[in-house]
Amino acid sequence: MNKLLFVSLLAVCACQKKTEPPPAPPKVPEVNKISVAQMPAGHPSLPSLTVQSRGPRRLSVDQLEKALDQIGNVPAGTVVLPPDMAFTLGRPDYKRVTQEQLEPSPLFMKFMVDLGGAFCTNIAMAEAGRPTDQKVFTRYGTVDENLSYMLLRFTGIDGDDAAPYLPRLKSAYDTGAQNATLTLGGYQAVCMSLFTSPEFLLY
C-alpha cells in the first residue's frame, strides 16, 4: 500500500509542473509533409486525405533509376540497373522475394558507392561535350554556384537550408580537385558525396 501511495505521489508531482513555453523547435525543412495530389479541374478539394507525416523511406530501385535519369540529364529510362543488381538492391524477383527490401543495409551502401563511382565518372566524361544548359557539374561560372546547383539537383535543398552544406561540399571539392589527372575530380568527389548521402537516398 505504501508503495502505491509513493508511486501516486510521484505521479502527482510529475503532473503539477507549471506549464513552460516549449523551446523553439529547430528549423529544419518540412520534409515529412506530403500534399494531396492535384485534383482534376472542378473537383472539390479533399483536405481530409492530406497526409501530414509518414515514416522516412529509402529510395526504391525504380525511384533510384528515375532519379539518376533526372540528375544525369539523360532521357527517362536511360538508367536501368541489370536485374541481378536490382535484386541485390532490394527489388523483388517475385520468385524468391516478393516484397521490396528498403533497408539501407551495408550491402546497399557498398553498392551505392560502386554505382556512384561509375555514375559520377560517366557524367564527368560526358560533361565536355554537352551544351551549357545540359551540364551537370559545370553549368555555372563559379564553383560555389555549381555546388549549390548540384546540391539542389541531388537533394532538392535550396536557399537558407543549403547554406550549412556548402562549406562541406567545397571541402570535398577541394580534396577531390587535388588530383591533377582528373579534370573534374573536385566535382566527382562532390557527386559521390551527395550520391551516398541520406539527403539523397532517403525521403
Partner 1 sequence: MNCKHCMTGKFGRRSLLKAMSAATGGLLLADLFPRTAFAGTLDKHRKFVFAYFDGGWDILLGLDPRDPVGNNPATSQIDPGYDQLGYGASTGVQSAAGLKFGPAVPASFLQVAGECSIINGVGMDTAAHEVGRRYFLTGQFPRGLDAVGSSVGAYAVSQMGEGSQIPFIAAGTEAYNDGLPAFASALTVNTLNDMAIALNPLVPVDPKVQEAMQKFQDGGPGCAGWALNRDGLVAKLEDSIARSRGYVTAMLGSNFDLTRSDAEMQALIGLYDIGAAYGDLGSPEVLSFLAGQSLKKGISQCVSVRMANSLDTHSNWAQDQLPAQQRGWKALAALLTDLKNTPGAMPNTSMLDETTVIAFSEFGRTPLFNSIRGRDHFLGNSALIAGAGVKHGMTVGKSADVGMMPVYCDPLTGQGFDAPPQAQIDSGAVTMLSPQHVLATVLASAGIDYSYLRVDPIKALLP
Give whichever of 36 and 97 is closer to partner 1, judged by the CB atom.
Answer: 97
Cα–Cα–Cα angle for 132, 141, 180, nearest 5°? 95
What's the rounded Cα separation, in Å, for the pair 150 and 199? 13
Give whichever of 48 and 98 is closer to partner 1, judged by the CB atom.
Answer: 98
Indicate the residue type of 198.
P
Torsion (CA) 60, 62, 67, 70 in degrees, nearest 10: -170
Smallest gap, in angstroms, from Cβ of residue 65 to partner 1?
18
Smallest gap, in angstroms, from Cβ of residue 26 to partner 1?
5
Smallest gap, in angstroms, from Cβ of residue 148 to partner 1?
14
Smallest gap, in angstroms, from Cβ of residue 54 to partner 1?
9
Give whichever of 39 and 83 is closer to partner 1, judged by the CB atom.
Answer: 83
Give whichever of 135 and 154 is closer to partner 1, judged by the CB atom.
Answer: 154
* Residue carrying C-alpha cell 502527482: 12
Provide the 3-class DSSP secondary structure of residue 50: coil
